[in-house]
Amino acid sequence: MVYLDHAATTTTRRSVIADMTEEFGYLGNASSLHGAGRRARRVVEESRESLADALGTTPHEVIFTSGGTEADNLAIKGLYWARTQADPARRRILLSAVEHHAALDPARWMADHQGAVYEELPVDGFGRVHPDTLRAAIEHNPDDVALVSVMWANNEVGTVQPVPELAAIAREYGIPFHTDAVQAVGAEPVDFAASGVTALTLTGHKIGGPVGAGALLLARGVDPIPLVHGGGQEREVRSGTLMTPLVRGFATAVRLAVAEREEHAERLAGLRDELLATVRKAVPDITTNGHPDHRLPGNAHISFPGCEGDALLMLLDAEGIACSTGSACSAGVAQPSHVLLAMGASAENARSSLRFSLGHGSDRSDITALGEAIGPAVERARAAWRKRR
């Protein structure tokens, strides 16, 4: 298989598998006081220190979760509840219009069930939130804003947001700022302290770690209301027995992804440019989506006029090429991408788009295979589209 969907999930590193396999051989709950428990606790805390060192934070600010979705929910719901508990007037949640559903849906749920006021920050044609846009939204009434959440890098079109600038504006008004950095870690220089954000989400399976392990980086002194109550683990923010093998593998993946980032990003950017040139040679009338400069190195998001993206995806899949129409969490949903619509694309254009994302293991043979398959696939998809019209 030619795998061009690394933004959905990527190859688990061999060293991560080795660490987890070894750890599964040990017995012990990290919350237990006996020797086996203390050994497990040491692994957890060493993993916490490793992750903190890689991401410019302190171990106390690392809250382990089951992944990005849980971390986003904890940040958005927990920070909202904490803010409204202190001041019931603070009910507005400001999110960019291009957020992942792991952030959008909790905010919408809060509006439907918890009295929140959900407000989307518009983006430009490249999918970027301008700092002036955020400032204007806050200044409309600074005293009623509960929190701001803007993702570090978009999972569909790859656009990177000016997170430090946005976080600085929120900080002027004493407003917590959360960012979903699931796609950014290992591709962009992510430093929690330097960015000035209040909370940051990351996950393991996007960077060669295990599915089921992630983290919320949470600034010292910030205490969201927990979603899960129980044993009081993780600063009493996220109760539950820690899965020590997954935590260890996750920390290894983060450490390696950050250490190798520059070389990895340079290689992927070169492959991405070659992929775009190859596809354009076969299908000259394509258009590309996302920011031309501020973008993830391994992301190529392409619109194929006169095609249904789902049909084109299945035709490529029949040739052994895996790609995506957007977020894996929205696969099979017969709706145009909310990201592209927010960027000003028509519904027809949004439905004609595919995401090709590169990662570890990607090489030029993948691009050659795509170049051979894409032209005939587009012709067939266009013929089918014309018949339906």
Which residue is listed with tokens 């006996």?
34
Q: Cα dist. 250→12, 43, 213, 216, 298 in Å? A: 10, 12, 6, 13, 21
Query: Tens-of-pLDDT digits for all 389 residues of the chain?
Result: 999 999 999 999 999 999 999 999 999 999 999 999 999 999 999 999 999 999 999 999 999 999 999 999 999 999 999 999 999 999 999 999 999 999 999 999 999 999 999 999 999 999 999 999 999 999 999 999 999 999 999 999 999 999 999 999 999 999 999 999 999 999 999 999 999 999 999 999 999 999 999 999 999 999 999 999 999 999 999 999 999 999 999 999 999 999 999 999 999 999 999 999 999 999 999 999 999 999 999 999 999 999 999 999 999 999 999 999 864 455 455 689 999 999 999 999 999 999 999 999 999 999 999 999 999 999 999 998 888 76
DSSP string, 228-274: S-SS-TTTTTS-S---HHHHHHHHHHHHHHHHTHHHHHHHHHHHHHH
Q: Which residues of 82-100 are buried (b: 16+ CB within 10 A; e: fewer)?
A: bbbeeeeebbbbbbbbbbb
Residues serving a catalytic function are 329
Q: Which residues pair with 185 in a beta bridge?
A: 188
Q: Which residues pair with 178 in a beta bridge?
A: 149, 199
Residues 253, 187, 66, 114, Cα dihedral to 10°: 160
Q: How many CB atoms are located within 10 Å of the residue 176 CB?
A: 24
pLDDT of residue 387: 84
Q: How many CB atoms are located within 10 Å of the residue 255 CB?
A: 18
If residue 149 lies in a helix (H) or strand (E), which one and from where to where? strand 145-149
pLDDT of residue 386: 85
Rounded Cα distance between 360 and 260, Å, is 11
Q: Which residues of 101-130 are buried (b: 16+ CB within 10 A; e: fewer)?
A: bbbbbbbbebbeeeebebbbbebeebbbbe
Report the candidate in 131, 122, 182 with the shortest Cα–Cα distance to residue 158: 182
3-state class (DSSP) for residue 95 = strand
pLDDT of residue 334: 60
If residue 180 lies in a helix (H) or strand (E), which one and from where to where? strand 177-180
Q: What are the start-end ranges of the H helices in the chain? A: 14-24, 35-55, 68-86, 101-113, 131-139, 163-172, 192-195, 244-259, 261-282, 309-318, 338-342, 347-351, 364-388
Rounded Cα distance between 373 and 363, Å, is 16
Helix 309-318 / helix 364-388 crossing angle, nearest 10 deg: 130
In contact, 67 and 205? CB cutoff 8 Å: yes
Helix 14-24 / helix 244-259 crossing angle, nearest 10 deg: 160
> Whats the size of the chain, residue-wise?
389
Rounded Cα distance between 367 and 204, Å, is 26
Domains of the chain: 2-9+261-388 (3.90.1150.10), 14-259 (3.40.640.10)
Q: How far is CA 357 from the centre of its chain?
A: 13
Q: How many CB atoms are located within 10 Å of the residue 27 CB?
A: 10
What amino acid is encoded at 267 in this protein? R
Report the candidate in 179, 359, 182, 181 with the shortest Cα–Cα distance to residue 260: 359
User: For the chain, how long is the longest CA-to-CA vector?
Assistant: 70
Provide the 8-state DSSP code for 5: B
Q: Cα dist. 357→209, 254, 364, 365 in Å? A: 17, 19, 13, 15
